[in-house]
Amino acid sequence: MTWDVLIIVGGPAGAIAAADLARCGYRVGVLERKRFPRGKLCGEFLAPRGVARLQQHGLLTPLLRAGARRIRNAVFISLGGHSHCLPLSRFSESVEFGLGISRATLDHLLLDHARACGADVLERVCVTDAIASSGRIVGVRARLSPSGTRVTFFAAVVIDASGRARVLGSPTPRARSEGDARLFAFQAHVSGIAGVGEAVQLYFYPSGYGGLVRIEGDLVNLCGLTTWATLRRAGGDPKQLLALTMGQNPRAQEILRNARLETPLAGCGPLRFGLRALPREYLAVGDAAASLDPFLGHGITLALESGLLAAALTDAAFRAGDPTTLAPRYARAFRRCFARIWRAAGWLRPIASHHAVGDRVLALLPERALAHRLLRALLFGGRTG
């Protein structure tokens, strides 16, 4: 089977790119390993800039109908009890709120949108290896589930949206810091929590940080980052892990006092954050291109924007009649478009990683108007004035 564009995996980056390109009239194929809807370990918060991108595709109303929660504030709570509230209305010119939405709902809606725009979406297809020609990836070999049938797909442009696994190339390198300091993520949906309201709340604790945000129904998404040493101490007990992480922050301990796990505690790692070496043989979007620190709250937004960037440059390359040099041009554009958020991650990572530093910064913020404005701009790309 041959398409103009082949996209590997139908998460936010892949689905939005597929929708945009299909609307432009291109033959687009999406190969997805899972059957949707499916859950995904994620903070499940969409920043205002990401909401604006979905609104441009006519998806905001369907998301709200599906149960997405409007999120109007970001609240940071230090281990020492200092807190700072950032109104999200200051972070976007067009949308004054973020969204709390499960990845099962968001990703399913986006993939259905790609279908509606004309993309061919094939689920339960496992890509096994890439097909190269003249220094470019021009197709893939895959296996269909559950039959095990082996198939081959070709395209003029191939986009890898497979996340950290990057199925067309090297997976995310292991974290540089080895041993007990390696970072792991955990997540669960919980109920029985009051006091979250219309905020995404980020709590800092000795081994990392964790967030709470309301999603569909009465559920709250709980997602955190911690070290291997803490995971080992928890011994595989979800309640013990929460006690050793979120439970070390007095404010988080109080708000989680009556919490009930509604889904099993999921985990992944070790994790490494930062911009990866972008390939010259194909396009990489979302986490296949870069893994953003969770405290920035921009992971889904970056996925959407990188998918839209890839779609725009692919369209331009087809119109110019030469997609062969597309990957290097996309790599340059990606670095140029997202340089600001990577600088922010580098500047703010020490604050997020060292709770004593974060505590001092949060204690000072209410009295420092300039610091307040700079933090808004760094985190959300908003106005500094």
* Among 75-84, 102-111, 372-381, the least confident range: 372-381
Please write the tens of the pLDDT for every residue from 219-261. 999 999 999 999 999 998 999 999 999 999 999 999 999 999 9
Report pLDDT for 79: 86
Measured CA to CA, the distance from residue 82 to residue 95 in angstroms comes to 28
Identity of residue 18: A
Q: Is the pLDDT of residue 375 over 60?
A: no
Report pLDDT for 84: 83
Report pLDDT for 92: 67
Q: Which residues pair with 120 in a beta bridge?
A: 29
Q: What predicted TM-score, i.e. pTM, was given to this entire model?
A: 0.91
| CATH of the structural domain 1-39+104-173+272-353, one choice from 3.30.450.40, 3.50.50.60, 1.10.3720.10, 3.40.50.450 | 3.50.50.60
Give the mean pLDDT of 285-308: 91
Residue 156 buriedness (CB in 10 A; 0-12 / 13-18 / 19+)? buried
Q: Is the pLDDT of residue 304 over 60?
A: yes
Q: Is 384 left (phi over 0), alpha (psi -120 to 50) or beta?
A: alpha
Q: Is the pLDDT of residue 381 over 80?
A: no
Give the mean pLDDT of 206-228: 95
Report pLDDT for 82: 80
Average of per-residue pLDDT values in the chain: 89
Report pLDDT for 141: 97
Measured CA to CA, the distance from residue 84 to residue 75 in angstroms comes to 6
Give the residue extent of every domain in the chain. Answer: 1-39+104-173+272-353, 45-101+174-271+354-385
Report pLDDT for 382: 47
Task: Please give the CATH number for the structural domain made up of 45-101+174-271+354-385.
Answer: 3.30.9.100
Q: Is the pLDDT of residue 22 over 90?
A: yes
Give the mean pLDDT of 157-170: 90
Please write the tens of the pLDDT for every residue from 36-71. 999 999 999 999 999 999 999 999 999 999 999 999
Share of the chain above pLDDT 70, in %: 86
